[in-house]
C-alpha cells in the first residue's frame, strides 16, 4: 500500500521579505506554490498511489480566493480522473473552508469534519485502510484531539491525520498532543501537519511532518516537498521525502576579513554566489562575516542599502539566485560568557521570551495568523536569541578594547 502525505500548501500566501525583485524572478516566485502542488499531483499519478492525504492549511487565509479554490479543485480532479482518492483535513489557517457552501470538490475527495471520524478505503489489492482525522472548526484549538483518535481493529492499515503541535504547556493553540498520545495509540502512521519542516517527530514513533511543499519566507530555508509512504504489515513504514519547490530560501555566509572597498566586496559576493547550485531559484540572505572592523566605506554602503541595490542590479538579468538581504555579521572575538553571565542570560531569556509575553506585546497583531505563526516559530525565536547574544558579546568586546 502506497500513498502521498502532504500538508501546509498555503495557497494564496504572500511571499514575505521580498522587494525590488525583477519581473522574471517575481514571476517564478508567485508561481512557485502552485507549481509545488502540481508536482505533488504529478508524483501521485506517476507512482499510482492508493490515495493522497492533505493535512491542513491547504489555503493560507480564512477567506480563500476563487482563483485558489479553482486551482486546487482542478488539481484534485486530475487525481479523480485516474481514480486516486484524496482525504483532506482543514487546519488553523483554512478552518472556514469546511463551511463554504460554494466550495465544491470532485467526487474522489473526502473531507473530515470538526469531530474525529474514520473513513474507509479498499485498495486495488484488496487491503483495508482506515483513515482517522478531524478539521479545525476555529483558528485555535486547545483540545488534545490525539487522545480521541482510535485505531480500527478490523483494518489492515490505520493512518491518522493530525494538524497540530507538541504540547509545550504554554499557549497551546494548535491541537496540542504528547509523544505519549501517539505512542499509545499504535496507529501504523501519523500524518502530521502544521510544522513546515519535514521529518520524523520521534525515532520510536511512525509520526512524520510532511513540511510545506514551498517555503514562503526566510524562516523556511532549505528544500521543501512532500512524503511518499509505503506500508507493509510486516515492517515499519518506508517514508521517502521528495522535493516539490522551485524556489528555495537560503542563508549564505560570505567571509570578508580582508575586504576594504565596495568594489572588492562586490567581487567577493558575486564570486560566492556563482559557486552556488542553479537547479532552482535561490533567495539568499547574505551574512558578511568579519573578525576585523569593517572599513567605513563598506559600513555606509551596507547601512544605507546602496550595496544591496548594486548587487541586485548586477543580477537583474538572470533567474538563478536573488539576494534579498545583506547583513554584516561581526564574528565575536571576546571570550565566551562566564558561567554566571550565561546563567543570567538564560534566566532573562526564559522570563522575557515567553509566548504570552510576546502575545501581549503584539496585542491585536496576533489576530493575523501569519504574524502569530511567525513569532511563535521556534526558528524565529532562536534567531532573536542569537541576535541578542551576538550583540552582547560584541559590546563586551568593545568595552574590553576601550579599557586596554
pLDDT in tens, 80-91: 999 999 999 999
Mean pLDDT across the chain:
86
pLDDT at 401 (0 to 100):
46
Burial of residue 63, with CB atoms counted within 10 A of its CB: 0-12 exposed, 13-18 middle, 19 or more buried:
exposed
Sign (positive or negative) of CA dihedral 307, 308, 311, 312 = negative
Tell which residue, 192, 179, 118, 175, has the closest CA to residue 150.
Answer: 118
Tell which residue, 273, 289, 286, has the closest CA to residue 331.
Answer: 289
The mean per-residue pLDDT over the stretch 117-121 comes to 97
pLDDT in tens, 9-37: 999 887 776 777 899 999 999 999 999 99
With a cut of 80, say whether residue 73 has pLDDT above it. yes
**The whole model's pTM is what?**
0.81
**Which residues neighbour 399 within 8 Å (Cβ) at sequence distance 6 or greater?**
none
The DSSP annotation for 138-162 comes to SS-B-S-GGGG----TT-SEEEEEE
Angle of the 262-274 helix axis to the 296-303 helix axis, nearest 10: 60
For the ranges 54-68, 123-137, 263-277, 374-388, the lowest mean pLDDT is seen at: 374-388
Name which residue leads in pLDDT, 399 or 240: 240
pLDDT at 248 (0 to 100):
96
The mean per-residue pLDDT over the stretch 145-161 comes to 94
The CATH class of 2-243 is alpha beta
pLDDT in tens, 291-307: 878 788 888 899 899 99
User: Within 13 Å, how many C-alpha atoms sit on residue 233's CB side?
Assistant: 7
Going by pLDDT thresholds of 50, 70 and 90, the confidence category of residue 208 is very high
Cell 521570551: give the residue: 353
**Which residues neighbour 309 within 8 Å (Cβ) at sequence distance 6 or greater?**
20
pLDDT in tens, 99-113: 555 568 999 999 999
Of 16-25, 133-142, 182-191, give the range with the top mean pLDDT: 182-191
At 327 the three-state DSSP class reads strand
From CA 294, how far away is CA 301, in angstroms rounded? 11
Tell which residue, 113, 112, 3, 102, has the closest CA to residue 49.
Answer: 3
Cell of 322: 536573488
With a cut of 60, say whether residue 140 has pLDDT above it. yes
Helices (DSSP H) in 48-108: which residue ranges?
66-81
For the ranges 131-135, 278-282, 377-381, 395-399, the lowest mean pLDDT is seen at: 395-399
∠ CA 313-213-137, rounded to 5°: 120
How far out from the chain centre does Cα 83 lie?
30
pLDDT at 372 (0 to 100):
62
Helix/strand/coil (H/E/C) assignment for every residue in 248-293: EEEEEEEECCCCCCHHHHHHHHHHHHHCCCCCCEEEEEEEEEECCC
With a cut of 70, say whether residue 396 has pLDDT above it. no
Pairing outcome for strands 128-133 and 117-122: antiparallel
At 219 the three-state DSSP class reads coil
The DSSP annotation for 343-377 comes to HHHHHHHHHHS-HHHHHHHHGGGGGSHHHHHHHH-
From CA 170, how far away is CA 167, in angstroms rounded? 8
Tell which residue, 49, 80, 90, has the closest CA to residue 228.
Answer: 49
Task: Please report which helix (H) or strand (E) contains residue 46, including its range.
Answer: helix 23-47
For the ranges 54-68, 215-229, 329-343, the lowest mean pLDDT is seen at: 329-343
Percentage above 70 pLDDT, the chain = 79
Tell which residue, 311, 304, 302, 259, has the closest CA to residue 284.
Answer: 311
Cell of 206: 511512525
**Which residues neighbour 277 within 8 Å (Cβ) at sequence distance 6 or greater?**
none
From CA 206, how far away is CA 196, in angstroms rounded? 18
Cell 501569519: give the residue: 370
Amino acid at each position: 500500500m502506497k500513498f502521498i502525505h502532504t500538508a501546509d500548501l498555503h495557497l494564496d500566501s504572500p511571499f514575505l521579505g521580498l522587494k525590488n525583485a525583477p519581473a522574471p524572478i517575481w514571476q517564478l516566485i508567485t508561481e512557485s506554490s502552485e507549481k509545488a502542488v502540481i508536482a505533488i499531483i504529478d508524483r501521485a499519478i506517476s507512482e499510482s498511489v492508493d490515495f493522497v492525504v492533505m493535512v491542513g492549511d491547504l489555503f493560507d487565509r480564512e477567506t480563500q480566493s476563487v482563483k485558489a479554490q479553482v486551482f486546487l479543485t482542478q488539481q484534485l480532479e486530475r487525481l479523480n480522473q485516474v481514480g486516486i482518492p484524496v482525504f483532506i483535513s482543514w487546519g488553523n489557517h483554512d478552518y472556514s473552508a469546511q463551511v463554504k457552501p460554494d466550495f465544491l470538490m470532485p467526487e474522489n475527495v473526502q473531507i473530515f469534519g470538526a469531530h474525529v471520524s474514520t473513513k474507509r478505503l479498499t485498495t486495488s489489492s484488496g487491503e483495508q485502510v482506515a483513515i482517522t482525522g478531524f478539521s479545525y472548526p476555529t483558528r485555535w484549538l486547545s483540545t488534545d484531539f490525539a487522545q480521541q483518535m482510535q485505531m480500527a481493529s478490523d483494518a489492515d492499515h490505520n493512518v491518522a491525520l493530525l494538524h497540530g503541535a507538541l504540547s509545550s504547556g504554554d499557549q497551546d493553540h494548535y491541537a496540542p498532543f504528547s509523544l505519549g498520545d501517539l505512542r499509545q495509540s499504535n496507529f501504523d502512521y501519523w500524518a502530521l501537519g502544521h510544522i513546515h519542516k519535514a521529518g520524523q517527530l520521534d525515532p520510536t514513533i511512525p509520526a512524520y511532518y510532511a513540511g510545506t511543499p514551498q517555503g514562503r519566507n526566510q524562516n523556511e530555508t532549505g528544500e521543501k516537498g512532500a512524503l511518499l509512504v509505503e506500508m507493509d504489515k510486516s515492517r515499519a513504514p518506508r517514508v521517502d521525502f521528495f522535493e516539490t519547490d522551485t524556489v528555495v530560501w537560503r542563508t549564505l555566509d560570505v567571509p570578508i576579513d580582508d575586504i576594504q572597498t565596495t568594489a572588492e566586496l562586490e567581487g567577493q559576493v558575486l564570486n560566492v554566489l556563482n559557486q552556488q547550485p542553479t537547479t532552482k531559484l535561490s533567495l539568499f540572505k547574505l551574512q558578511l562575516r568579519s573578525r576585523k572592523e569593517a572599513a567605513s566605506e563598506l559600513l555606509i554602503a551596507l547601512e544605507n542599502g546602496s550595496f544591496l541595490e548594486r548587487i541586485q542590479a548586477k543580477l537583474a538579468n538572470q533567474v538563478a539566485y536573488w539576494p534579498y538581504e545583506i547583513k554584516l555579521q561581526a564574528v565575536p572575538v571576546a571570550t565566551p560568557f562566564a558561567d554566571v553571565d550565561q546563567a543570567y542570560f538564560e534566566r532573562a531569556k526564559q522570563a522575557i521570551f515567553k509566548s504570552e509575553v510576546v502575545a501581549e506585546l503584539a496585542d491585536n497583531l496576533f489576530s493575523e495568523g501569519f504574524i502569530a505563526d511567525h513569532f511563535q516559530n521556534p526558528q524565529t525565536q532562536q534567531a532573536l536569541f542569537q541576535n541578542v547574544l551576538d550583540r552582547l558579546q560584541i559590546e563586551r568586546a568593545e568595552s574590553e578594547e576601550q579599557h586596554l
